[in-house]
Amino acid sequence: MKRILTVTLALAAAMTMLIAFSGCGGAKVPERLVGQWECADLASDGYTDTSFYALTIENGGVFSLYDEDAGNPGISGTMEGKDTGKLGILELSCEGEDFDPPVCWASLKKNSRIRYKIMADDTIRLGYVGIWLTFTKVE
């Protein structure tokens, strides 16, 4: 009986450590990035029209940046990044056949790093190669 109890406690401890270290149930992206977002009219380059983009980011890191007017896919997949405050890096892993990044991010690859800035509770910026897209949260 003592041996069964010891084995059971050891298994319970191992499972607890596995869950704690694997991040099971934890967000893969900063909580303040999660939600539905609309893009500002222009990218930071001042001339690339981005008014038609919408962005969805889920707590588990699944995201989609797409043309909300035409319904055309842009890029989608998963993103991962630590909450480092108002500025940080996101690792993108895009999936699927439809890979059409914004024109100002033409060199974006299916596996890329982008930067994020949290401007306010309802505004974020995502940047790649020095060009930023600004998004406002949709309520």
Give 69-123 pLDDT, tens digit per residue. 988 889 999 999 998 888 999 999 999 888 999 999 999 999 999 999 999 879 9
pLDDT at 1 over 70: no
H or E element, residue 9? helix 2-22
Tell me the pTM: 0.79
Distance CA 122, CA 118 (A): 9
pLDDT digits (tens, 9 = 90+) for 43-56: 999 999 999 999 99
pLDDT at 114: 97
Domain edges within the chain: 27-137
Q: Token pair 């050891």 is at which residue?
A: 10
Q: Which of 30, 28, 29, 53 is nearest to 121 (CA)?
A: 30
4/90 Cα distance (integer angstroms): 45
- Given the candidates 2.60.40.1220, 2.60.40.2550, 2.40.128.280, 2.60.40.1930, the CATH classification of the domain at 27-137 is 2.40.128.280
Distance CA(115)–CA(122), nearest Å, equals 17
